[in-house]
């Protein structure tokens, strides 16, 4: 039909058509035909279907460089570290497509012109939950590898033109630490904007003795972004850019059959492992938990006194497992004493209103989160480590447990069937004014 129209148009009135006009019309017609064919073809392929992108690494903005594509592959590099515990090898935290693994090589450099290439050993972590892409360690062994300052992973044994090197961290082993306690928040995504709970949790952790919090950021809500800028300026918060959605189709859940996608929970296991190595020689202990979870001591006033006793009783242990306990945000404390008018316009959950805890279920696994000595962890999953050097210890429920305010897991239970747990209230005298001051400094609250 379009071809016939062109033919008729070309005849014009008595064959006297302007040649320039005809050429313009012909170009537009061809463009329409090509666009129609492309649309018809791509309509059979959903937009969310993963297709390995082709990256020009030189054009990737610096802010995205926490994730680096490995040239001529479907894999990615994240960060590189010297692992002194294994004789000084280079460990590159990576994302590997499990069914497309080919021989990989390490190109490491001691100086600008002194670079060597060796075969890499790829170790895909065992807890992949069925997702095609997963966190992996690419191990590089070779002469003078401990002296290397930068490294890249290549699909070729000779790749002199590739310039996408990662700096190598942890080159110096130390027994002194900048922080006693660091929290690793694996990732924030979906324009997360739970401001009030975030502020309360951060201020609670300050009171418990935490000096440093790391968050891997994919996307934030506008109000939470203001709060995070305040904490970053204050010096307690480190924000690591994590634009995983620019490279893969990350899953919003942990179950591949239910949620699909390329990578488990926005790369949660990648960031947890990366955070452990990032703070190997910066922090005495690392807490691996989510921002809506508070690892709460019940027999100690703070985390330093808790860990002093636990480590004294279990000197060789490097992994301490803390039970998770749900405080449903659907059940409210009856008196309303903490339903403060000042916080009515602050988005998010007020944890002080939720003092009812779900009971354990005998036949259901109760997951744990962890306090770890990072120098004794080689690989970690979400609820336990995969490889460690000192074993683990399950901390008793009455000594320390997680206060996790979220949607209920046992939603049919009435308030009378839940346990009253007011541990958070022990801190309100300092917690409330600290939260107010933080919200005020962030421009979210006027005092």
The pair of three-digit structure tokens given for residue 308, joined into one six-digit string: 């002093």
- Determine phi and psi for 200, rounding to 5 degrees: -65, -40
Tell whether 272 and 345 lie within a shared domain: yes
Parallel/antiparallel/unpaired status of strands 76-83 and 166-169: parallel
- 300-335 burial, b at 16+ Cβ within 10 Å, e below that, comes to beebbebbeebbeeeeebbbbbbbbbbbbbebbbee
Indicate whether 344 and 435 sit together in one domain: yes
- Is 381 among the domain residues? yes
Q: Are residues 199 and 343 in the same domain?
A: yes
CA distance 81 to 439: 37
Q: What would the two tokens of residue 265 be?
A: 């929970």
For CA atoms 233, 238, 239, 241, the dihedral sign is: positive
Per-residue pLDDT, 50 = 37
Q: Which of residues 169, 200, 216 is at a domain's end?
A: 169
pLDDT value at position 133? 97
pLDDT of residue 55: 40
Indicate if 434 and 296 belong to the same structural domain.
yes
- Could you tell me the residue range of the domain that residue 276 belongs to? 179-441
**Residues 257 and 108 grouped into a single domain:** no
> 164 with 185, same domain?
no
Do strands 377-380 and 212-217 pair parallel, antiparallel, or not at all (unpaired)?
Answer: unpaired
The pLDDT assigned to 255 comes to: 86
- Check which CATH number belongs to the domain holding 361 and give it: 3.90.550
Q: Tell me, yes or no, whether 317 and 218 share the same domain.
A: yes
Give the pLDDT score at 394.
98
Give the pLDDT score at 19.
Answer: 47
pLDDT at residue 313, as a whole number: 98
410: how many CB neighbours lie within 10 A of its CB?
Answer: 13
Residues 142 and 191 in one domain: no
Q: Is there a domain that residue 43 lies in? A: no
CA separation, residue 406 to residues 230, 269, 428, 435, 438 (Å): 25, 21, 20, 20, 23
Angle ∠(39,43,46) on CA atoms, nearest 5: 130
Question: How many Å apart are CA 196 and CA 343, to the nearest integer?
Answer: 8
Query: Is there a single domain that holds both residue 303 and residue 424?
Result: yes
What distance in Å separates the CA atoms of residue 417 and residue 224, rounded to the nearest whole number?
34
- Helix 428-441 / helix 195-208 crossing angle, nearest 10 deg: 130
| Burial tier of 149 (Cβ tally within 10 Å: 0-12, 13-18, 19+) | middle
419 in any annotated domain: yes
User: Number of folded domains in the chain?
Assistant: 2
Last residue of a domain, one of 169, 198, 233: 169
Per run of 10 residues, the mean pLDDT along the chain (length 447 residues) is 42 44 51 47 36 40 70 96 97 97 94 89 95 97 93 87 89 96 94 97 98 97 97 97 96 89 96 98 97 97 98 98 97 96 96 97 92 98 96 97 97 96 98 98 91
Nearest CA to 78 out of 89, 69, 67, 70 is that of 67
């Amino acid at each position: 039909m379009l071809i016939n129209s062109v033919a008729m148009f070309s005849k014009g009135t008595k064959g006297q058509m302007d040649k320039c006009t005809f050429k313009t019309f012909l170009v537009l017609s061809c463009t329409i035909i090509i666009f129609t064919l492309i649309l018809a073809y791509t309509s059979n392929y959903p937009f969310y279907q993963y297709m390995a992108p082709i990256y020009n690494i030189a054009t990737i903005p610096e802010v995205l460089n926490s994730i680096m594509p490995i040239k001529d592959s479907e894999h990615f590099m994240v960060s590189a570290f010297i692992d002194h515990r294994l004789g000084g090898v280079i460990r590159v935290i990576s994302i590997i497509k499990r069914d497309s693994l080919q021989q990989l090589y390490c190109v490491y450099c001691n100086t600008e012109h002194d670079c060597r290439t060796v075969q890499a050993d790829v170790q895909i972590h065992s807890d992949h939950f069925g997702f095609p892409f997963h966190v992996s360690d690419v191990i590089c062994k070779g002469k003078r590898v401990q002296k290397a300052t930068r490294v890249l992973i290549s699909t070729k044994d000779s790749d002199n033109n590739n310039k996408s090197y990662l700096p190598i961290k942890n080159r110096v082993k130390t027994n002194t630490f900048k922080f006693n306690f660091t929290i690793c928040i694996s990732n924030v995504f979906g324009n997360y904007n739970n401001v009030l709970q975030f502020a309360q949790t951060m201020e609670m952790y300050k009171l418990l003795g935490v000096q440093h919090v790391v968050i891997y950021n994919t996307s934030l809500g506008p109000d939470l972004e203001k709060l995070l800028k305040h904490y970053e300026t204050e010096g307690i918060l480190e924000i690591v850019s994590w634009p995983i959605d620019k490279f893969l189709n990350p899953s919003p859940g942990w179950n591949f059959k239910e949620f699909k996608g390329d990578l488990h929970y926005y790369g949660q296991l990648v960031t947890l492992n990366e955070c452990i190595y990032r703070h190997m020689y910066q922090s005495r202990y690392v807490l691996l938990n989510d921002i809506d979870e508070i690892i709460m001591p019940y027999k100690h006033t703070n985390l330093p006194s808790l860990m002093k006793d636990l480590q004294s009783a279990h000197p060789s242990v490097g992994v301490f497992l803390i039970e998770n306990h749900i405080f449903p945000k659907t059940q409210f404390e009856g008196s309303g004493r903490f339903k403060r008018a000042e916080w009515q316009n602050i988005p998010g959950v007020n944890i002080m209103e939720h003092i009812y805890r779900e009971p354990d279920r005998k036949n259901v696994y109760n997951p744990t989160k962890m306090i770890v000595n990072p120098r004794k962890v080689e690989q970690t999953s979400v609820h336990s480590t995969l490889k460690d050097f000192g074993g683990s210890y399950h901390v008793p429920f009455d000594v320390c447990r997680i206060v996790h305010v979220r949607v209920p897991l046992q939603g049919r239970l009435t308030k009378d069937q839940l346990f009253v747990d007011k541990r958070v209230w022990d801190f309100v005298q300092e917690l409330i004014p600290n939260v107010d001051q933080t919200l005020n400094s962030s421009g979210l609250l006027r005092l």
